[in-house]
């Protein structure tokens, strides 16, 4: 097992700065995920760790040993890509055996390792077959197996599930997690899918335009997003983010324009005690935290139901609140129809505030 440390890791392609002084530590044995939208620099980061690209500045350490000047072979890492890159003319057995044959291992050792890995991945019946006779999920398992036979010190996985259909992705997700538990190897996984990152990982790092936004356990990042980008990226459907002005006076509120106000009583007002009157902020409310009631004390949170989307186990709702649109989730039993008005409620502890200019969370 290996600890991986990135220090001010920077990559430029020409004038474009693709990774901006990223500092990150992946603990030994961890399943660590780098998540972010397409083009944010995830693959570049993995390629730097693998040694397929050289950093412009900064350093990479494996267990306190600098490796960024070493070639890929000397780093002893295995990388699995989105495209499986299997040898089409070889059987599954030979695909799995290939990395060991390259290393000139004995036939007996190769046979034992190939069969062990095939067993672990449920590939034993497929050993005599060729890649074209396999399903997408089986091919991806062979690609994983080819990484595993070498027993590398580190696994790098670049969106390995993204060619699979939705159902299979979810199955392979659980299998990957079990595999990690069995191997206890350090794995760095890259995906643009926040749900995948949340369910698989011990910790995640959110990357945006080459900038590390936040790093932590999935639950921490979900509960305490560092800024507007993370708040909008983690969670599905995304957090409702509404820009407004902080107003004090006898009735403190976030003024959302056109007569819509989010009243700030007690604790909420206290949380903004250091924020200047008249300052611009963004109110954050997660769809899953909004509760709808047919009637209630009028807190100025009267919303009109504009859309109902049944999702099976729950319904997704769209609500009009003044000039704003809110997304909400409700249980499948939700009883309401488009055009009806409701009051929404939310626990004070679930309300987020962000600085509108800098984007960082205020409280
Ligand atoms: N060899 C290269 N030369 C020039 N620009 C590059 C090179 N490799 C990557 N880039 C640019 O760097 C940026 C980040 O690319 P990267 O492949 O790391 O993104 P990514 O987060 O993996 O995206 P995706 O989710 O689409 O795979 C992109 O704008 C890309 O065009
Ligand atoms: Mg990529």
User: Which residue matches tokens 């698989």?
Assistant: 200
342 contacts 318 by C-beta, under 8 angstroms: no
Instruction: Answer yes or no: is the C-beta of 43 below 6 A from any ligand 1 atom.
Output: yes
The architecture that CATH gives domain 240-355 is Beta Barrel (2.40)
Q: Is the CB of 276 under 6 A from ligand 1?
A: no
Task: Indicate which residue's Cα is closest to atom 22 of ligand 1.
Answer: 43
Q: Which atom of ligand 1 is nearest to the CA of 37?
A: 25
What residues does CATH 2.40.50.140 cover in the chain? 240-355
Instruction: Give the residue range(s) of CATH 3.40.50.300 domains in the chain.
Output: 4-233
Q: Whose CA is nearest to atom 28 of ligand 1?
A: 39
Q: Which ligand is nearest to the CA of 40?
A: 1
Query: CA 272, CA 62: separation in Å to the nearest integer?
Result: 43
C-alpha neighbours within 13 Å on the C-beta side of residue 98:
16
Q: Is the pTM value of this prediction over 0.85?
A: yes
Ligand 2 centroid, distance to 43 Cα (angstroms): 4
pLDDT of residue 296: 60
> How far apart (Å, rounded) are the C-alpha atoms in residues 22 and 215?
11
Tokens, residue 147: 């990484």
Cβ atoms of 61 and 5 within 8 Å: the answer is yes
Query: 4-233 has which CATH code?
Result: 3.40.50.300
The pair of three-digit structure tokens given for residue 149, joined into one six-digit string: 């036979």
Residue nearest to atom 27 of ligand 1 (CA): 38
For each of the chain's 363 residues, which pLDDT tens digit applies?
899 999 999 999 999 999 999 999 999 999 999 999 999 999 999 999 999 999 999 999 999 999 999 999 899 999 998 877 899 999 999 999 999 999 899 999 999 999 999 998 889 999 999 999 998 888 988 998 999 898 899 999 999 888 888 888 888 888 889 889 988 999 999 999 999 999 999 999 999 999 999 999 999 999 999 999 999 999 999 999 999 999 997 889 999 998 899 999 889 999 999 999 999 999 999 999 999 998 665 667 899 999 999 999 999 999 999 999 999 999 999 999 999 999 999 999 999 999 999 999 998
CA 34 – CA 203 distance, rounded (Å): 9
Other C-beta atoms within 10 Å of 152: how many? Answer: 18
- Residue nearest atom 29 in ligand 1 by C-alpha distance: 39
Give me the helices (H) in the chain, please.
42-50, 72-75, 92-102, 107-120, 136-148, 166-183, 194-200, 218-223, 228-233, 266-271
Q: What is the pLDDT of residue 298?
A: 61
Whether 18 lines ligand 1, by a CB cut-off of 6 Å, is yes
Query: What is the atom index within ligand 1 of the atom nearest the CA of 46?
Result: 18
CA gap 193, 42 in Å, rounded: 12
Sheet holding 154-158, edge to edge: 77-80, 154-158, 186-191, 31-35, 203-208, 211-216
CB of residue 121 inside a 6 A radius of ligand 1: no
Give the position, in ligand 1's atom list, of the atom nearest the Cα of 41: 18
| CA distance linking residue 282 with residue 245, whole number of Å | 8
- What per-residue confidence (pLDDT) applies to 94? 96
pLDDT at residue 129, as a whole number: 96
How do beta strands 57-62 and 203-208 pair?
unpaired
Q: Which sign, positive or negative, has the C-alpha torsion 251, 254, 260, 262?
A: negative
Q: What ligand 1 atom has the least distance to the C-alpha of 192?
A: 25
pLDDT at 317: 98
């Amino acid at each position: 097992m290996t600890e991986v440390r990135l220090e001010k890791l920077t990559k430029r392609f020409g004038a474009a700065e693709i990774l901006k002084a990223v500092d990150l530590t992946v603990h030994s044995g961890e399943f660590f995920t780098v998540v972010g939208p397409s083009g944010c620099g995830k693959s570049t980061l993995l390629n730097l760790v693998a040694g397929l690209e050289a950093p412009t500045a900064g350093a990479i350490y494996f267990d306190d040993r600098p490796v960024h000047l070493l070639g890929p072979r000397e780093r002893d890492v295995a990388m699995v890509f989105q495209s499986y890159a299997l040898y089409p003319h070889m059987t599954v057995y030979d695909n799995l055996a290939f990395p060991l044959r390259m290393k000139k291992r004995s036939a007996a050792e190769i046979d034992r390792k190939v069969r062990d890995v095939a067993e672990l991945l449920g590939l034993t019946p497929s050993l005599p077959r060729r890649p074209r006779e396999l399903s997408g999920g089986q091919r991806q398992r062979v690609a994983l197996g080819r990484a595993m036979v070498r027993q590398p010190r580190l696994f790098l996985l670049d969106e390995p599930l993204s060619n699979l259909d939705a159902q299979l992705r979810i199955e392979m997700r659980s299998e990957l997690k079990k595999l990690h538990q069995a191997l206890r190897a350090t794995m760095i996984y890259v995906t643009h899918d926040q749900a995948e990152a949340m369910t698989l990982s011990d910790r995640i790092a959110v990357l945006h335009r080459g900038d590390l936004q936040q790093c932590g356990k999935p639950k921490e990042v979900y509960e305490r997003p560092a800024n507007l980008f993370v708040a909008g990226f983690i969670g599905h459907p995304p957090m409702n983010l509404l820009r407004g002005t902080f107003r004090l006076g006898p009735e403190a509120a976030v003024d959302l324009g056109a007569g819509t106000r989010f009243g700030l009583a007690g604790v909420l007002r206290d949380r903004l005690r250091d924020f200047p009157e008249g300052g611009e902020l963004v109110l954050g409310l997660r769809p899953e935290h909004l509760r709808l009631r047919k009637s209630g004390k009028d807190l100025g949170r009267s919303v009109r139901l504009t859309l109902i989307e049944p999702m099976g186990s729950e319904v997704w709702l769209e609500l009009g609140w003044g000039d704003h649109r809110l997304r909400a989730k409700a249980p499948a039993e939700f009883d309401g129809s488009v055009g009806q008005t409701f009051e929404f409620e939310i626990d004070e502890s679930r309300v987020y505030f962000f600085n509108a200019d800098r984007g960082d969370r205020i409280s």
